Protein backbone atom coordinates (compact mmCIF):
# COMPACT_ATOMS: atom_id res chain seq x y z
CA UNK A 1 0.00 0.00 0.00
CA UNK A 2 2.80 2.41 0.85
CA UNK A 3 4.52 1.59 -2.42
CA UNK A 4 1.45 2.78 -4.34
CA UNK A 5 1.54 6.10 -2.48
CA UNK A 6 5.09 6.73 -3.68
CA UNK A 7 4.19 5.53 -7.18
CA UNK A 8 1.43 8.15 -7.20
CA UNK A 9 3.87 10.80 -5.97
CA UNK A 10 6.25 9.87 -8.77
CA UNK A 11 3.48 10.18 -11.36
CA UNK A 12 2.41 13.54 -9.87
CA UNK A 13 6.00 14.82 -9.86
CA UNK A 14 6.66 13.70 -13.43
CA UNK A 15 3.39 15.26 -14.58
CA UNK A 16 4.29 18.50 -12.82
CA UNK A 17 7.63 18.55 -14.61
CA UNK A 18 5.93 18.23 -18.00
CA UNK A 19 3.29 20.87 -17.23
CA UNK A 20 5.83 23.33 -15.83
CA UNK A 21 8.06 22.82 -18.85
CA UNK A 22 5.18 23.62 -21.22
CA UNK A 23 4.20 26.75 -19.26
CA UNK A 24 7.81 27.93 -19.12
CA UNK A 25 8.25 27.46 -22.87
CA UNK A 26 5.20 29.71 -23.30
CA UNK A 27 6.75 32.32 -21.02
CA UNK A 28 10.06 32.10 -22.88
CA UNK A 29 8.10 32.55 -26.12
CA UNK A 30 6.56 35.75 -24.77
CA UNK A 31 9.98 37.03 -23.74
CA UNK A 32 11.54 36.21 -27.11
CA UNK A 33 8.61 37.70 -29.04
CA UNK A 34 9.28 40.94 -27.18
CA UNK A 35 12.95 40.70 -28.10
CA UNK A 36 12.14 40.07 -31.76
CA UNK A 37 9.72 43.01 -31.82
CA UNK A 38 12.48 45.27 -30.53
CA UNK A 39 14.88 44.42 -33.34
CA UNK A 40 15.45 40.85 -32.50
CA UNK A 41 17.41 37.82 -33.37
CA UNK A 42 17.24 34.68 -35.48
CA UNK A 43 13.92 32.77 -35.26
CA UNK A 44 15.53 29.31 -35.41
CA UNK A 45 17.85 30.13 -32.53
CA UNK A 46 14.87 31.49 -30.59
CA UNK A 47 13.04 28.16 -30.90
CA UNK A 48 16.07 26.34 -29.52
CA UNK A 49 16.28 28.85 -26.65
CA UNK A 50 12.62 28.27 -25.81
CA UNK A 51 12.96 24.51 -25.58
CA UNK A 52 16.14 24.56 -23.48
CA UNK A 53 15.15 27.63 -21.46
CA UNK A 54 16.81 26.67 -18.13
CA UNK A 55 20.18 26.65 -19.86
CA UNK A 56 19.45 29.79 -21.90
CA UNK A 57 17.92 32.11 -19.29
CA UNK A 58 20.73 34.62 -19.55
CA UNK A 59 20.24 34.72 -23.32
CA UNK A 60 16.56 35.61 -22.91
CA UNK A 61 17.48 39.15 -21.89
CA UNK A 62 16.59 42.05 -24.12
CA UNK A 63 12.82 42.16 -23.73
CA UNK A 64 11.16 45.55 -23.19
CA UNK A 65 11.85 46.80 -19.66
CA UNK A 66 8.20 46.96 -18.58
CA UNK A 67 7.60 43.27 -19.32
CA UNK A 68 11.10 41.93 -18.70
CA UNK A 69 11.01 42.14 -14.92
CA UNK A 70 7.64 40.40 -14.61
CA UNK A 71 8.41 37.67 -17.13
CA UNK A 72 11.90 36.95 -15.85
CA UNK A 73 10.55 36.74 -12.29
CA UNK A 74 7.90 34.29 -13.48
CA UNK A 75 10.53 32.26 -15.34
CA UNK A 76 12.71 32.13 -12.22
CA UNK A 77 9.77 30.90 -10.15
CA UNK A 78 9.07 28.22 -12.74
CA UNK A 79 12.69 27.12 -12.56
CA UNK A 80 12.42 26.71 -8.79
CA UNK A 81 9.10 24.85 -9.14
CA UNK A 82 10.63 22.61 -11.81
CA UNK A 83 13.53 21.80 -9.50
CA UNK A 84 11.15 20.97 -6.63
CA UNK A 85 9.03 18.75 -8.90
CA UNK A 86 12.19 16.97 -10.05
CA UNK A 87 13.24 16.39 -6.43
CA UNK A 88 9.80 15.02 -5.50
CA UNK A 89 9.75 12.71 -8.51
CA UNK A 90 13.29 11.46 -7.91
CA UNK A 91 12.84 10.90 -4.18
CA UNK A 92 9.52 9.13 -4.56
CA UNK A 93 10.92 6.89 -7.29
CA UNK A 94 13.84 5.98 -5.01
CA UNK A 95 11.51 5.13 -2.13
CA UNK A 96 9.22 3.16 -4.46
CA UNK A 97 12.11 1.10 -5.78
CA UNK A 98 13.30 0.39 -2.23
CA UNK A 99 9.82 -0.67 -1.12
CA UNK A 100 9.32 -3.01 -4.06
CA UNK A 101 12.80 -4.53 -4.06
CA UNK A 102 12.75 -8.33 -3.86
CA UNK A 103 15.85 -10.30 -3.02
CA UNK A 104 16.84 -12.94 -5.57
CA UNK A 105 15.87 -16.48 -4.71
CA UNK A 106 18.47 -18.52 -2.86
CA UNK A 107 19.78 -21.51 -4.73
CA UNK A 108 21.55 -24.30 -2.89
CA UNK A 109 23.88 -26.64 -4.60
Confidence of residue 37 (pLDDT cuts 50, 70, 90): low
Q: Report residue 102: phi and psi, to 5°.
A: -120, 130
Residue (of 38, 86, 85) closest to 60 by Cα position: 38
CA distance 71 to 73: 5
Q: Are 24 and 82 in contact (CB under 8 A)?
A: yes
**pLDDT given for residue 104 in this prediction:** 82
Give the residue, 44 or 10, on which the prediction is more confident.
10
Over residues 39-68, the pLDDT tens digits come to: 556 667 777 777 777 766 665 555 556 666
pTM over 0.85: no
Alpha helices in the chain (DSSP H): 2-37, 43-51, 65-99
- pLDDT-derived band at 95 (thresholds 50, 70, 90) equals very high
Amino acid sequence: MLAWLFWGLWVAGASAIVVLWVFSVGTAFRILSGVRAGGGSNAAVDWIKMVVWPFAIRHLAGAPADRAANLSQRLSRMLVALFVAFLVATASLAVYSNLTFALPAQTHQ
